[in-house]
Amino acid sequence: MGDEQGVQIPRPEYPRPVLVRDDWLNLNGAWRFRSDPEDEGMDSGWFRAQLPDATRIIVPFPVESEASGVHVTEPSAVVWYQREFLVPEVWSGRVVLRIGACDHWARVFVNGQEVGQHRGGYAPFSFDIQHALLPGANMLTIRVEDSLSWTQPRGKQAGTTRWPIDYDSVTGIWQTVWLEPLPVIAIENTAFSYFHASGELTFTALFSGQVDGTLTAEISRKGELIATASADTGLRSEVRLKFVFSDGDLWSPESPQLYDMKLKLFNRRTSETDEARSYLALREIEVRDGQLRLNGGKLYLRGVLDQGYFPGGWYTPMTDDEIRQDVELTLAMGFNCARKHQKAEDPRYLYWADKLGLMVWAEMPSGKIFSTELIETLTREWMDLVKRDRAHPSIIAWVPFNESWGVWHQSQRPEQRAFVDGVVALTKALDQSRPVIGNDGWEFSSGDLWTLHLYQAGDDLAVRLADLIREPGLSVTGDDSHPRVGALPGANVAGLPILLTECGGVGFGRYGEADFSYGDLPASQAALEERIRQTAELIHSEDMLQGFVWTQLTDIQQEINGLLYFDRTPKLPLEILKGIFSPLDGESIVAGAD
């Protein structure tokens, strides 16, 4: 597939696999690009005509990436994008522009008319643009502003200060841009919850507006129709359908069974119909009797910390095959879960996790300065991401905060603790079907799991873990100047599953003086294997733990604690790593009946 500018379209696959429509137009490819260091573009009316003195950028790769063709690691705070497009002649009615992700503040213009704005670097957004369209060629212009401030959620992107664990920033469009024709009211999001004991499945569809009509859903398996249901929408903007599966195929990492779904929304007022394809799974994740469970059986989590950076494209994988490769490599090393760390990942990653059987912890990228801006931006964007992703069966947990980033003083400032607790409650209001980890790593305030970050090696790890379980008010970090306790005063972790959600961090390889890992570097591959094996065996021997997350999947810039080099070459043979991280007794610890 190519575009009208003679460039092969990158990332040509449909970008939202959990809600697919056949009729769409991919706008990836070559765009005009212009930096605006003096922020003069608005006053000069750059959105009204062709960008002056423009160069070329390849969308959807961020400005900092090699694949973008710009490859500026410190771009100006304001940049502009522009391209022409033709609306297919067969389209009529509403046309929607969708942008998968653009960091951070986007103002969008069609033919010189502003059609909308969006703040946030991770959640998708869309605008109706049919009112601004002209016959023939149309001009799309996007102004993007991205500061270095930590008052906005930015994850691991270096800001005004750079920690040893921060990386080069991400600016501008970094997920697919596309158009699709839609009726006046369309299906926008889906979700499901499943109860293993009863076989009951509740499916939820959200619409772009209130509608008087009917929603019909057909569920099939390998081409065979299994169930169908319909409901009156009753002038609501969402509707729920109920199904019962008395003997269904369950989804698990060992057997990632998916059911196909066809959706049809009929609008009585306009007589329009919206049709889309989706999928779901029979999968229940819960905390019951102090145990994390999958489909009723005990679940032991073998996770890896995955930052989601890629050679060439930086935040954006070059191809869909690269996304699938990361999922396959994670599974090949014996892990059953990826903790997507400080990045809301491309939905195509979640699709491959759904399809191949990798569980995922979904995490909100943090800011680091508590402020009204952080409260508003993080909350709004996190809610949008939960709505985007709650239809993916691979996601088994929500993580809105990490290591108290942006809420450093929860124990002294009640407004910060209220922020964390409020976001936990909002997440549960949107989705009751998954555990929520309010603040991963330490300073537990609210949530369903008690998760700790400990990088100590040898017997010290066992001692510190035992001390924390006995007294959650002890420091996790061991830093007397800025202690981070396991649980905040008044918070109750009794009976919660305990997981070690950052550990390991063993570095290998030397690339420069700024190299970072946790502890000394092993001198050889044999020493690396021994260090990893000893730490993993110690973790497995801790009966109180219900899982771990190893740091980390790949090297990234100065961080050299990956199990893989940045180009995805394993530092040790995959079969050795699988033998280390899989259960030592060889038994399956993927859920089944107790």
User: What tens digit of pLDDT does each residue of 434-474 get?
Assistant: 999 999 999 999 999 999 999 976 678 888 888 999 999 99
* pLDDT attached to residue 509: 86
Q: Are 311 and 323 in contact (CB under 8 A)?
A: no
Q: Are 175 and 27 in contact (CB under 8 A)?
A: no
Q: Are 298 and 543 in contact (CB under 8 A)?
A: no
319, 178: one domain: no
Q: 421-430: long-range contacts at Cβ-Cβ below 8 A with a sequence spacing of 24 or more?
A: 421/445, 421/446, 422/379, 423/378, 423/379, 423/382, 424/400, 426/379, 426/382, 426/383, 427/382, 427/386, 427/398, 427/400, 430/383, 430/386, 430/387, 430/390
Sign (positive/negative) of CA torsion 576, 578, 581, 584? negative
What 3-state DSSP class applies to 262? strand
Specify the DSSP class assigned to residue 48: G
pLDDT of residue 161: 76
Mean residue pLDDT across the chain:
94
Looking at the fold, whether 315 and 175 belong to one and the same domain comes out as no
Q: Quick check: is 575 in a domain?
A: yes
**Burial class of residue 55 in the structure, from the number of CB atoms within 10 Å of its CB (0-12 exposed, 13-18 middle, 19+ buried):** exposed
Domain finish residue from 182, 206, 238 = 182
List Cβ neighbours of 171 (8 Å cut-off, separation of 6 or more): 62, 63, 64, 75, 79, 103, 144, 146
> What pTM was estimated for this model as a whole?
0.96
Query: Strands, DSSP E only, in 308-427?
Result: 337-340, 359-363, 395-399
Which pLDDT does position 114 carry in this prediction? 98
pLDDT, residue 160, reads: 76
Give pLDDT, residue 268. 98
Query: Which residues does 540 contact at the CB level (< 8 Å), separation at least 6?
Result: 583, 584
Nearest to 207 by CA among 188, 235, 234: 188
Q: Give pLDDT, residue 511.
A: 64
Distance CA 223, CA 204 (A): 22
What is the CATH classification number for the domain harbouring 534?
3.20.20.80
Residue 523 forms part of a structural domain: yes
Residue 537: name the closest of 499, 584, 467 by CA: 584
Query: What pLDDT shows up at residue 8?
Result: 85
153: domain CATH number is: 2.60.120.260
Q: Compute the distance between CA of residue 252 and CA of residue 235 in angstroms, rounded to an integer.
A: 37
Residues 34 and 177 both lie in one domain: yes
- Is the separation of the CB atoms in 187 and 205 below 8 Å? yes
- Residue 463: inside a domain: no
Q: What is the CA radius of gyration of the chain?
A: 24
**What percent of the chain is helix, strand and coil (3-state, nearest 5)?**
20, 35, 50
Residue 34: inside a domain: yes
Calculate what percentage of the chain has a pLDDT beyond 90.
89
Residues 361 and 502 in one domain: yes
In a domain, 531, yes or no: yes
The number of domains in the chain is 2
Q: How far apart are CA 272 and CA 362, in angstroms?
A: 36
Task: Tell me the CA distances in angstroms from 243 to 194, 240, 392, one per residue in order.
Answer: 9, 10, 18
Give the pLDDT confidence score for residue 480 in this predicted structure.
65
Report the pLDDT value the prediction gives residue 164, as an integer from 0 to 100.
Answer: 87
Q: Is residue 13 part of a domain?
A: no
Q: Is there a domain that residue 355 lies in?
A: yes
Alpha-carbon span 474 to 469, nearest angstrom: 9
- Which residue numbers in the chain have pLDDT < 50? 1-6, 584-594
Closest CA to 93 of 173, 207, 8, 183: 183
Burial class (CB in 10 A: 0-12, 13-18, 19+), 206: middle
Q: Is 414 helix (H, G, I), strand (E, B) or coil?
A: helix
Domain boundary pick from 114, 147, 182: 182
Residue 404: give the domain boundaries: 308-451+497-581
Last residue of a domain, which of 137, 161, 182? 182
Query: Packing angle between helix 347-356 and helix 320-332, nearest 10 degrees?
Result: 40
In a domain, 340, yes or no: yes
Q: Do 547 and 413 share a structural domain?
A: yes
Give the number of other Cβ atoms within 10 Å of residue 299's Cβ.
26
For residues 199 and 146, give the distance between their C-alpha atoms in angstroms, rounded to a whole number.
47
